[in-house]
Every structure is written in C-alpha cells, then in structure tokens.
Amino acid sequence: MENIYSYVAENVKRVQDEINEVCAKYGRNPEDVILMGVSKTQPVEKLEVAYNAGIKLFGENRVQELVQKAGFFSSHNVPCHIIGTLQTNKVKYLPPLTDTIQSVNSLKLANEIEKQYGKAGKKANICLEINIGDEDSKSGIPYGQAMELVHQLSEYKNLTVKGLMCIPPIDATEEVRKYFAQMHKLFVDISSKKLDNIDMCILSMGMSGDYPWAIAEGSTLVRVGTGIFGQRNYNL
C-alpha cells in the first residue's frame, strides 16, 4: 500500500518546500504556518502515508467521515479539525472526536457547540468562518458582523474563539490576495481588543490553488487536499 500511495509523500514534501520558499520570500517563519492535510473522501491508507511524511494535522468536512476515521486519529494521537459546513444536529457527535471546529458560521451553531461541549464537560476551540467575498452561494459570517459576534462569544463558557477561517471567491490568481489581506486585518483588529475567551492564534486561509498568496498575507494554517492526496473519489 505504501508504494501505491508514495506520491502522497512526494506531494507533502513538495508543498512543504513551497511553503518554506514563500515564507522566505515574505520574511515569515515557516514554523508559524501549519500545513493541514484535508482528508475528505480519502482512505486511511493515504492518511498513513501523509502522516509518515510529516502531516500532523488533518481536516475533515463531514462528521460521518470523522467518525469513520476516528480510530486512525486516536491511534496516531493526531488531531483532526472539522472544516466543512456543520449542521447543528451533528454537533452532539463531536465532543469525543475533536476539540476544534473551524467552520462556525452563525450564532445558532455557536450556541449548539456551547451546549453540547458543556454537556460533555469539554471546551471547544472554534474559528469563525467569514464570508469574505460576501457571496450568496457561500455560508459564513458577513465581514461587517464578525466583531459584534466575537463580543457575544467572549461571554461563553464552553468554547473559545481561536481564530478565523475563510474560503475566498474562486480562482487561483493573485487577485485573491485582497481578500486574504482583509481577513488578516480583521484578525489583527479582533486580537487587539484583548477580550476574555478570545485567543486569536489561527488564521486559516489558503487551499491547494492559492495557499502561497494566503501565506504572503499572514495565514497561519493552510488547508491542502488535492495538492497532497490527488483528486478525490466522491463515489467511495
């Protein structure tokens, strides 16, 4: 199996090398940028190769897949974040499986996380998903409402706001940098408020097609799926 998926290890090295090059170009420390392997639809055999190649954080879009792969994450003592659209009725399954939810896109969802992690006697780390392009087709908190929501969440007991996440408007052109720059500004603005229960350390932006520009604008976590694992098989 290792030989079949050896390209995964090669891809991890290639992506990490590019991250290092981009960091050098823009005067950033590569240790300040985490490479997440987005493992949705991927078999655990591929995750094993990626893990051995240096991936120490994974991301899953669907709760069902996180449940299916929980044994892998647990046995390797490696964290996995939820990064996809999350329905409130699925939150109850998460406390035993993950401590970090990156795709919190509404106060309603935050309230359910507060409730379910409280029931479990745990505390969730969350990122607010910002609809940075103000696109009707995407979920997320409008840019202009983020600060108000952060103030509300600073009062919560069972979750901590750890940062922001976004999926900018399409395309892998340099034009996308303006959205990443806006995200970084919001990240800094929230950090400067020094609110209780707000510990801004994750700026999750940049995927396979645009992560170099995200890093240039201050990303601390890039989410790379196809760039590591290859094209997804949605028929699995």
Q: What is the CATH number of the domain that holds 210?
A: 3.20.20.10
Q: What is the mean pLDDT of each run of 10 residues along the chain (236 residues)?
A: 83 98 97 97 96 98 96 97 96 97 97 98 98 86 96 97 92 80 97 94 95 96 96 57
CA dist 78 and 67 (Å) reads 14
Q: How far lies 213's CA from each of 17, 25, 207, in Å? A: 15, 11, 10
Question: If you average pLDDT over every residue of the chain, what do you get?
Answer: 94
Closest CA to 52 of 12, 80, 19, 82: 12
Q: Is residue 93 part of a domain?
A: yes
CA dist 195 and 174 (Å) reads 34
Q: What is the pLDDT, as a whole number, of residue 233? A: 61
Find the length of the chain: 236
- Overall number of domains in the chain: 1
Q: Is residue 236 part of a domain?
A: no
Q: Is residue 1 part of a domain?
A: no
Residues 50-75: tens digit of each pLDDT: 999 999 999 999 999 999 999 999 99
Other CB atoms within 10 A of residue 218 CB? 19
Q: Is residue 129 part of a domain?
A: yes
Domain that holds residue 124: 6-229
Q: Residue 129: which region, alpha, beta or left (left: phi > 0; alpha: psi -120 to 50)? A: beta
Beta bridge partner(s), residue 60: 82
Q: Which residues contact 5 (CB under 8 A, 6 or more apart)?
A: 45, 46, 49
Q: Is residue 176 part of a domain?
A: yes
Q: How far lies 134's CA from each of 5, 138, 149, in Å? A: 38, 8, 17
Residues 6-16: tens digit of each pLDDT: 999 999 999 99
Q: Is residue 234 part of a domain?
A: no
Other CB atoms within 10 A of residue 222 CB? 24
Q: What is the pLDDT, as a whole number, of residue 144? A: 94
Q: Is residue 208 part of a domain?
A: yes
The whole model's pTM is what? 0.94
Q: Is residue 235 part of a domain?
A: no
Closest CA to 196 of 134, 130, 138, 151: 151
